Amino acid sequence: MTAEKLVLVADKALFHAKHEQRGTIHMFSSTTWHE
């Protein structure tokens, strides 16, 4: 995973966190492992 990709994932996680705090960890983990 490149730094650029990591930034995109982190940005997506932060965006998600604003809407649903509970789903952030699951979403982040799923995205990371999906790679």
Provide DSSP, 2-23: -HHHHHHHHHHHHHHHHH-TTH
* CA dihedral (5, 6, 9, 10) positive or negative: negative
Q: Which residue has the higher pLDDT, 11 or 1?
A: 11
The alpha carbon of residue 5 and the mean position of all alpha carbons in its chain are separated, in whole angstroms, by: 10
For residue 28, the model assigns a pLDDT of 64
The alpha carbon of residue 32 and the mean position of all alpha carbons in its chain are separated, in whole angstroms, by: 7
Q: How many CB atoms lie within 10 A of CB 27?
A: 17
Q: How confident is the model at residue 31 (pLDDT cuts 50, 70, 90)?
A: low
For residue 24, the model assigns a pLDDT of 55
Query: What would the pLDDT profile of 4-25 be if each residue is shown by its tens digit?
Result: 999 999 898 888 777 665 555 6
Does the pLDDT at position 34 exceed 60?
Answer: no
